[in-house]
Amino acid sequence: MKPGLRALVTNDDGIDSPGPAVLAEAAGAAGLDVVVAVPDRQYSGASAALTAVQEHGRTVTEPRPPVGGAPAYAVHAAPAHIVVAAAHGWLDPPPDLVLSGVNRGANVGRAVLHSGTVGAALTAGLYGGRGLAVSLDVALDSDRPEHWDAVSPHLPSVLRMLCAGPAGTTLSLNVPDRPAAEHRELRTAPLDPRGSVQTVVAETGNEGLLLREVGTDAPPEPGSDRALLAAGHPTLTALAGVRETSVPAWGDR
């Protein structure tokens, strides 16, 4: 890993989440120059949105006490907005890497399209940086202690892989929510056709829609990230952002 690389740590769970401290500590231990800039509130499901709260045309930022030993800011904006701002002059020097997470809940399957955690990492790749999204497979409505420290043993090797990749590299790491000693080997994995969580309309009426997140009913595709994670494997998936493809034959009229 090259000395002096700068890493921006962000997430979509908000500045008070324990996840950014895990990433900041691991990045600092790897010799990276770390800065933490995280939304001031939860932005789950923000994808790569550039939403921000502005006053007098300026995105609101607040210095915070260090997180994981790194200088920290709470930003009134979605995580991808933070990445774009950091890459275009807010941070000097701009970050070489964006480390997004650790997200509370898995980001698996093609539904990662909607994740603010993944959206931040993909935005880094879009602008020629390198991005890593990290997620802990905490179950919906879990009331048991969460194993945030189980993420750390997997980060040194994944960070080396990220730094060795070409500009634009974007990786997604999902970690089982259990003690690291109980993890099986890290596996590279394709995306499941679905995610682990789906949104359903619980109520409709004149006052609007009530949406809820529930677990996905369909079984995972064998060998997919969702299946391997459920079996106790940390999973690593390389992602690509928006890109063109050929127009199908039925579109030629």
Whole-prediction pTM value? 0.91
Structural domain that includes position 147: 6-192+219-241
- Burial of residue 178 (CB within 10 Å: 0-12, 13-18, 19+) is middle
Asked whether residue 250 is assigned to any structural domain, the reply reads no
Cα dihedral: 156, 99, 151, 137 (round 10): -150
Which pLDDT score, from 0 to 100, does residue 156 have? 97
Asked whether residue 172 is assigned to any structural domain, the reply reads yes
Which pLDDT score, from 0 to 100, does residue 199 have? 62
111/34 Cα distance (integer angstroms): 29
Count CB atoms within 10 A of the CB of residue 131. 30
One digit per residue, the tens of pLDDT, for the chain of length 253 reads 666 899 999 999 999 999 999 999 999 999 999 999 999 999 988 888 888 878 878 899 999 999 999 999 999 999 999 999 999 999 989 999 999 999 999 999 998 999 999 999 999 999 999 999 999 999 877 778 899 999 999 999 999 999 999 999 999 999 999 999 999 999 999 999 987 766 666 678 777 776 666 666 778 899 999 999 999 999 999 999 888 888 777 755 5
Of 253, 1, 9, which is closest to residue 131 (Cα–Cα)?
A: 9
52/59 Cα distance (integer angstroms): 6
Backbone angles phi, psi at 242, to 5 degrees: -65, 130
Characterise 109 by phi-psi region: left (phi > 0), alpha (psi -120 to 50), beta (else): left
Asked whether residue 203 is assigned to any structural domain, the reply reads no
Asked whether residue 119 is assigned to any structural domain, the reply reads yes
DSSP H helical ranges for 50-192: 79-85, 116-126, 155-164
Asked whether residue 249 is assigned to any structural domain, the reply reads no
Asked whether residue 96 is assigned to any structural domain, the reply reads yes
Backbone angles phi, psi at 221, to 5 degrees: -70, 130
Asked whether residue 205 is assigned to any structural domain, the reply reads no
Q: Cβ distance 229 to 108 under 8 Å?
A: yes
Assigned token pair, 143: 């009331």
Asked whether residue 132 is assigned to any structural domain, the reply reads yes
Here the CATH number for the domain that contains residue 175 is 3.40.1210.10
Give the strands of the sheet with 33-39, arranged side by side.
61-67, 70-75, 33-39, 6-10, 97-104, 130-137, 170-176, 235-239, 187-188
Residues 6 or more apart whose Cβ sits within 8 Å of residue 28: 34, 68, 69, 70
Which pLDDT score, from 0 to 100, does residue 239 have? 96
Q: How many domains does the chain have?
A: 1
Bridge partners of residue 74, in order along the sequence: 38, 62
